[in-house]
Amino acid sequence: MDMLETTTTNIELSQIRELKKVGSRIIKYGVNFTVFDTCGNLILFVDGDKFQSNIEQLSDLGKQILNQHKQRDGSSLKNEPVKNFCNENPVLGIVLESYCSEYKPYEAVGSVLIDLGNISDNHEYLTNEKQFEDMLIFIADSFLDRSKASGQIEMVSTELARVYEELVLLHKLSTNMRVTEADSNYLQMACDSLTEIVYVEGIAILLEKSVENEQRFVVAAGSGLIDIDEHISENLYSRLTDELNKGKEAMLDSEVDSPFKYEWPEDIKSLIAVPMCGKDKGDSGFTNRTQNGNYIIGFMVAINRIGKDDFDSTDVKLFDSVASSCAVFIENRRLFKDINELFFGSLKALTRSIDAKDNYTHGHSERVAFISRWIAEKLSEKGMLEDEQLHRVYLAGLLHDIGKIGIDETLLRKNGKLTDEEYARIKMHPAIGAGILQEIKQMRDIVPGVLCHHERMDGRGYPDGLHGDQFPTIGKIVGLADSFDAMTSKRTYRDAMSVEKALTEIEKGLGKQFDEKIGRVFLDSNVEQLWEILKDGFGEIYHGNAYTEYGTAAVGMLIK
């Protein structure tokens, strides 16, 4: 008969089952087989049905073996002779060891005892003693070897899981590296994703910003309990550059194995900081370079590792990979912004050159672009237009007269009344503009706005005489914006209308020249505010840089 106790032990259930199998074979020799944990609790008893064992006595013998183990230097007891408690009831025993880790390789988890019973009753003992000793040594060796194998499998499994999580994180960072994404969104995602793998009390990413006309590193994203003021950020940057100049990949500091290298606030127990480096310093006020010649454009810092005493080399590699991804994103964003501004600047220069062909239309294209966006925003607020259309409407307004590049300046500047032939040539400019933009793949969504901005709801417009739903919303919006600016601007053939007069004319034209729903939304908006911005020459929005952002965002939509 056998007994399996369900007590708390460091010996796993699968290991107990293996010991039970061994014990079932050993008891065939007329002995009893027992296993105790480190506290002397019986966890396995396989009875040979030949005699009764004194469990309490066996427990004490097991403790004796374990106490002798504690007095050793921690090296393995593998292959050490078993303990022979010779008396009338001899007992053979050995310590069971488990492999823990490279830092603490061996740990006693229990003892195995073979109770041989009374010698006078068990004559086989004299002939089988050496065999029993070999069996125990084999049991202890096998237990330790299995423990090592299990530990190594667990270690490899843990490492694979960690590597998998890291690869998923880096893949997530790379696939979400959209240059149209705001810096703050991407960097916050990087912080949040990293802390799902590496547990820390606080993490932050600092980027260089201009604060009160001074270049400083300020927190751009972060999470957890971390407080970084101007003084700490300066110290972090200075000490990080010192460590990098010494050839280190990162700055690690803690009080685990030795005192802190640097002085930190009391709540910091361990710290890691890794640089975010770029090839171009841009407008940076900091000129420190790393050994490979790159500039530090920011850095990532985390404090107080959770689950481990300190940050280690594995953490350094992961933090460095994430920081590198963030640096690439920031540099790409800067490059994308530069390209956007260059492209938008070129578009503005082109439209201004077209407006300059007629002294009375100076700034007309930029005003129509802004008015078009104004109308589109009001439509979007009422659910009548998708937000993604705002950028297309803006660019269509900016480029609506691009076709005038193919019209003779003398016609555009003529003071007198145009002949029918001359007017017919003027009416070609929407088709010319559409033809120019049609050749640019990214501009094709804008073409309908350029082509149809002179069409009318009653079909009396040009170039194709479309009416009602035959031409798209983008053309109706730009057409309304173009008419409002034309009415409120001085032309060669008439003075500028007042805003009130222009709004009255638009009211009259609803359903005829203008789409009634779109026109009504415009008339119900705060046109007085719009007019103040237009009169100000966009100074109000240029000051806040919003106007430039309209253009760069619109261009970004084209090339993303």
* Strands 270-278, 251-254: pairing kind: antiparallel
168 within some domain: no
C-alpha 478/C-alpha 399 separation (Å) is 10
Say if CB 142 and CB 299 are below 8 A apart: no
Q: Give residue 101's pLDDT.
A: 62
- For strand 42-46 and strand 2-4, is the pairing parallel, antiparallel, or unpaired? antiparallel
120 has pLDDT over 70: no
Q: How far apart are the first and last CA of the chain?
A: 76
Q: Is the pLDDT of residue 258 over 90?
A: no
Of the listed ranges 94-103, 331-340, 414-423, the least confidently predicted one is 94-103
Looking at per-residue confidence, does 312 or 346 come out higher?
Answer: 312
Report, as an integer, the average pLDDT of 42-49: 93
- For 93-117, what is the mean pLDDT? 82
Q: What is the CA radius of gyration of the chain?
A: 41
Same domain, 415 and 527: yes
Residues 35 and 81 in one domain: yes
Q: Write down the pTM of the prediction.
A: 0.59
| 339 part of a folded domain | no
How many whole angstroms separate alpha carbon 492 and alpha carbon 497?
A: 13
Q: 416 and 360, same structural domain?
A: yes
In this structure, are 51 and 101 located in the same domain?
A: yes
Half-sphere exposure for 158 (CA within 13 Å, toward CB) = 6
Furthest-apart CA pair in the chain: how many Å?
138
SS3 sequence of 378-430: HHHHCCCCCCCHHHHHHHHHHCCCHHHHHCCHHHHCCCCCCCHHHHHHHCCHH
Q: Which two tokens stand for residue 81?
A: 């002779």
The packing angle between helices 499-509 and 516-524, to 10°, is: 150
Q: Quick check: is 173 in a domain?
A: no
What is the SS3 assignment for 254? Answer: strand
Q: Answer with the residue of higher pLDDT: 279 or 363.
A: 363
* 234 and 124 together in one domain: no
Higher pLDDT, 406 or 508: 508
Average pLDDT over residues 419-428: 91
Does residue 327 sit in the same domain as residue 403?
no
Question: Mind listing the pLDDT tens digit for each residue in 131-165?
Answer: 888 899 999 988 988 888 877 777 676 667 777 77
Assess if residue 169 is contained within a domain. Answer: no
For the ranges 97-101, 250-254, 279-283, 456-460, the lowest mean pLDDT is seen at 279-283
**13-30 per-position pLDDT tens digit:** 888 999 999 999 999 888
pLDDT at 6 over 50: no
- Mean per-residue pLDDT for 56-70? 87
In a domain, 351, yes or no: no
What is the crossing angle of helices 124-175 and 183-194, to 10°?
180
Cis peptide preceding 463, ω within 30 of 0: yes
For residue 521, pLDDT beyond 90? yes
Mean pLDDT of the chain, nearest integer: 84
pLDDT at 335: 81
Q: Describe the chain by its helix, strand, coil percentages, rounded to 5.
A: 50, 15, 35
CATH of the domain at 541: 1.10.3210.10
Q: What is the DSSP string of 18-59?
A: HHHHHHHHHGGGS-EEEEEETTS-EEEEE--SSS---HHHHH
pLDDT higher at 522 or 106: 522
Q: How confident is the model at residue 543 (pLDDT cuts 50, 70, 90)?
A: very low
User: From CA 233, how far away is CA 231, in angstroms rounded?
Assistant: 6
Query: Residue 82 domain-assigned?
Result: yes
**Do 371 and 517 fall within a single domain?**
yes
**Residues 474 and 360 occupy one common structural domain:** yes
Cα gap 132→64, rounded to integer Å: 19
- Residue 278 sits in a domain whose CATH number is 3.30.450.40
Structural domain span for residue 73: 2-150
CATH at residue 135 = 3.30.450
* Residues contacting residue 186 through CB under 8 Å, at least 6 positions apart: 176, 177, 326, 329
Whether 405 contacts 432, CB under 8 Å: yes
Residue 195 or 442, more confident: 195
Task: Please tell me the predicted confidence (pLDDT) of residue 280.
Answer: 62
DSSP tag of 495: P
Rounded average pLDDT over 389-399: 92
pLDDT digits (tens, 9 = 90+) for 476-498: 999 999 999 999 987 766 688 99
Query: Which residues are paired to 257 by β-bridges?
Result: none
The confidence band for 524, taking pLDDT boundaries of 50, 70 and 90, is very high
Q: Does residue 336 form part of some domain?
A: no
Which pLDDT score is estimated for 509? 96
547/464 same-domain check = yes
Residues 434 and 549 in one domain: yes
* The predicted structure's pLDDT at residue 407: 87
What per-residue confidence (pLDDT) applies to 213?
A: 78
Q: How many structural domains does the chain have?
A: 3
pLDDT reported for residue 356: 77
* pLDDT exceeds cutoff 80 at 364: yes
- Return d(Cα 393, Cα 475) in angstroms, integer: 9
pLDDT of residue 542: 45
Q: How confident is the model at residue 78 (pLDDT cuts 50, 70, 90)?
A: low
Q: 164 lies in a domain?
A: no
Helix (H) or strand (E) holding 275: strand 270-278
Query: Do 325 and 360 fall within a single domain?
Result: no
Helix (H) or strand (E) holding 520: helix 516-524
Question: How many other C-beta atoms lie within 10 A of the C-beta of residue 205?
Answer: 27
pLDDT at 194: 92
Alpha-carbon gap, residue 302 to 319, rounded angstroms: 9
Q: So what's the pLDDT on residue 493? A: 64
Stronger pLDDT, 4 or 530, i.e. the higher one: 530
* DSSP result, 204-242: EEEEEEEETTEEEEEEEEEEES----HHHHHHHHHHHHH
Give the confidence band of 472 by pLDDT, cuts at 50, 70, 90.
very high
Query: Residue 285 pLDDT > 80, yes or no?
Result: no
Residues 325 and 423 in one domain: no
Which long-range contacts does 151-156 make (Cβ < 8 Å, 24+ apart)?
151/99, 151/100, 151/101
pLDDT band of residue 368 (cuts 50, 70, 90) is very high
- pLDDT category of residue 282 using cuts at 50, 70 and 90: low
Give the DSSP per-residue string, 180-205.
Answer: TS-HHHHHHHHHHHHTTTS-EEEEEE
